[in-house]
Amino acid sequence: MYTLAKPTTSFLEAISNPSELKRLTTQQIQSLAGEIREEIVANLSKTGGHLASNLGIVEITLALHKVFNSPEDQILWDVGHQCYVHKMLTGRRNQFDTLRQYKGLSGFINPLESPHDAFVAGHSSTSISLAVGMAIARDHLGKENKVIAVIGDGGLTGGMALEAINHLGHIQRNVLIVLNDNEMSISQNVGGFSQYMKRIKETFFYKDIKSKLDLIEDKLDSAKITPAVWEMILAVKKQAKERFDTPGIVFEKLGVNYSGPVDGHDVSAVIAAFESVKDKTTPQLLHIISQKGKGWGPAEKDAIKYHGVSAFSLEPPLSEKVEPAFAPKPKAKTYSDVFSQALIELAALEPNMVAITPATAEGSGLVKFGHKWPERFFDVAICEQHAVTMAAGMAKAGLKPVVSIYSTFLQRAIDQVIHDVAILKLPVIFGIDRGGLVEDGETHQGVFDIAIMRAIPNLVVCAPKDARELRNILYTALKESSAPVAVRFPRDKAVDAEGIEGFETINFRCWEIVEPGETVEPGNKSSPATNEFKEVIVLAYGAMVNTAVQALPLLKQKGVRPTIVNARSTKPLDTEMLAKFLANPDAVLITLEEGVLTGGFGSAVLEFASQQKVIHLGKKQADVYNVAIPDHFVEHGAREILLDLVGLSSSKVAEFILHVVG
């Protein structure tokens, strides 16, 4: 790995409030920037987190707090994962080693942590809309504070940000947009707008022309010229401005004044730029150029790899290459790995299959697919709505699109799933990654997709129990389904991924919950010792099958041997199987799912049980109990801790079953 000097904190130790930056000189602030970078790398080596983006925004954050007055001036951080420097400067540095840990600091902006966090932030492209809303409220209430939206060029590709700029230009409120341009989101930015921003950085000719025109205008102020001549001079200036490739002309045409570009790592230049727009009363966009990963060699060389990191060791580099004494253990495959490899192989079987992702190619593993099938891979940037509707257009025209999308980001495109995909029953496959709990907290928990998707007509909604089943569900959906199919899987190591080579077909359809051979673990109807317990049937959905299996030893110690069923589909249900289970009044049915309790898989089973009661009036049926995520937002922390917290660890599942039957 790479060496890192022990963090020095001569200036950082003295900063407990952002107002203290105002007494520091520019040179001292530049030294402080170096200390902050050391602190970020040292801490993230222990906690993990978003590394490259925070290294790139150090000087911008320092300049913001030097010029403006937080929390009176409201700073809105788009996405929010670039907030680590802001947290250090606003009284949370002593908690920084708890970042992303359970009951520690959030990895994102959270007003519950500090009044300096103006709004919760976890998804992109929201900051300008929030700024417009807060500016309107400020003006209505007669206040005079500044509202500042800090957004990256990746976030600016999102339609919501462009909608907000359009409205801001119309209503002309006092809002400052700070565009942190590093040509990156999670992956490399794509799209026409990204290319336009790149051209801005390469176009300094206009700045020279504009400065000369301004100089001429200043000199003419004292000259005695007729109004007609003055009007002609202004017209020439306007024409000159419009004919050159003006940096920011798109923003100016929309009514937002543009300034920049500014070197984002030159503290004095950034401070001067903020001072120049601080007292403006019209909408301003300040374009700042930064480097993602700035100041730490590995992240500068590979900003994508170091966008988000797990805890790592800062070991000194070896002076010479040393062969390991034994072969290193291969890295465990995740469900994302299995998903992307399956798509690569399926593309060879189905020439009309294409893959789409909204700027999550790295996280979902689709980079490999793009290398293998570049003409069939589409990264549409941070545009979830466009990704889904584009897939609908592809499907209507004869292609077979697979949309790879995180569960938490799919929430942004539910209208498109309903309106553009489901109504026409188009065969779009949704590969829903990060389904379930993740470390990043409330804004990123993928717990709503089961309930949302199963409420939509014409959709098949399923989840695999292991790696092989994920592959085969994708195969079945691609080859046999004429309807849209949602396949969800967790951010976790894939169960039974070892030894999967090539593609093996298992003939089942993903809309059948279980075939007779899909009982994972047969159970007894009662305890062989005391005959006290009812028959227990656990209907486990997706990743919860493995959890149920892991709970077996604890249950068997108490004489309870449940039947575990792999309920791979929540819509449609295997109603024939469920009817048989419910018909046994001595049985207990327990559903397990890593999604919200309200409206999820367990609710689907209860709804069917209610229908069966109507059909068989007066006939007693099995009891049904649901284990799922309670009706509250789940905080950040390690996945294992969160699963236990909501009652979905193997030990908590075993406790629940024993309580129900005991």
Asked if residue 506 has pLDDT above 50, the reply is no
- Residues 66, 93, 100, 292: which is the catalytic one? 292
Contact present, 570 and 510 (Cβ < 8 Å): no
Average of pLDDT values for 472-489? Answer: 91
**Residue 200 neighbours by CB distance under 10 Å:** 24
Over residues 618-639, the pLDDT tens digits come to 789 999 999 999 999 998 888 8
The candidate with the shortest Cα–Cα distance to 135, out of 118, 152, 158, is 118
Over residues 182-232, the pLDDT tens digits come to 865 444 555 555 555 555 545 544 455 556 666 666 666 666 677 777 777
- DSSP per position, 114-132: -TT--S-B-SSS-HHHHHH
The residues, any chain, with a CB within 8 Å of residue 28's CB and separated by 6 or more, are: 11
State yes or no: is 292 an active-site residue: yes
61-to-33, 49, 50 alpha-carbon distances in Å: 10, 18, 16
pLDDT of the residue at 509 = 45
pLDDT of the residue at 484 = 96
Asked if residue 545 has pLDDT above 50, the reply is yes
**Residue 586 neighbours by CB distance under 10 Å:** 12
Whole-number mean pLDDT of the chain?
83
Strand partners, 302: none
pLDDT of the residue at 355 = 95
pLDDT of the residue at 227 = 77
Over residues 350-389, the pLDDT tens digits come to 999 999 999 888 888 899 999 999 999 999 888 898 999 9
- Residues 35, 183, 362, 384: which is the catalytic one? 384
d(CA 136, CA 543): 46
Structure tokens at 503: 């593609």
d(CA 177, CA 285): 5
pLDDT of the residue at 402 = 97
Average of pLDDT values for 126-149? Answer: 93
Asked if residue 512 has pLDDT above 50, the reply is no
Asked if residue 524 has pLDDT above 70, the reply is no
d(CA 384, CA 390): 10
**Residue 427 neighbours by CB distance under 10 Å:** 20
Asked if residue 277 has pLDDT above 70, the reply is yes
State yes or no: is 376 an active-site residue: no
pLDDT of the residue at 331 = 73
d(CA 139, CA 285): 20
Q: What is the largest CA-CA distance in the chain?
A: 110
Asked if residue 403 has pLDDT above 90, the reply is yes
pLDDT of the residue at 305 = 72
340-to-140, 303, 363, 367, 463 alpha-carbon distances in Å: 51, 22, 10, 9, 16
Contact present, 126 and 160 (Cβ < 8 Å): yes
Sign of CA dihedral 239, 243, 245, 250: positive
Structure tokens at 170: 């119309």
d(CA 330, CA 309): 19
**Residue 612 neighbours by CB distance under 10 Å:** 17
The pTM of this model reads 0.78
Strand partners, 151: 179
pLDDT of the residue at 638 = 87
- Residues 412, 488, 491, 568: which is the catalytic one? 412
Over residues 405-415, the pLDDT tens digits come to 999 999 999 99
Asked if residue 1 has pLDDT above 50, the reply is no
Q: Please work out, in degrees rounded to the nearest 5, the angle formed at the alpha carbon of residue 133 by the alpha carbons of 130 and 138.
A: 120
d(CA 612, CA 625): 16
Asked if residue 330 has pLDDT above 70, the reply is no
Average of pLDDT values for 465-477? Answer: 91
79-to-87, 157, 256, 467 alpha-carbon distances in Å: 15, 13, 22, 31
Confidence of residue 321 (pLDDT cuts 50, 70, 90): very low
Contact present, 513 and 569 (Cβ < 8 Å): yes
Average of pLDDT values for 118-132? Answer: 86
- DSSP per position, 23-76: GS-HHHHHHHHHHHHHHHHHHHHHH-EE-HHHHHTHHHHHHHHHHS-TTTSEEE
The residues, any chain, with a CB within 8 Å of residue 106's CB and separated by 6 or more, are: 100, 113, 441, 635, 636
d(CA 538, CA 551): 11
State yes or no: is 329 an active-site residue: no
**Residue 339 neighbours by CB distance under 10 Å:** 27
Q: Please work out, in degrees rounded to the nearest 5, the angle formed at the alpha carbon of residue 428 by the alpha carbons of 426 and 429.
A: 145
pLDDT of the residue at 655 = 95
Contact present, 535 and 526 (Cβ < 8 Å): yes
d(CA 365, CA 370): 9
Better pLDDT: 169 or 250? 169
Average of pLDDT values for 153-164? Answer: 84
Contact present, 90 and 18 (Cβ < 8 Å): yes
pLDDT of the residue at 644 = 93
Over residues 426-436, the pLDDT tens digits come to 999 999 999 99
d(CA 168, CA 223): 37
d(CA 397, CA 410): 23
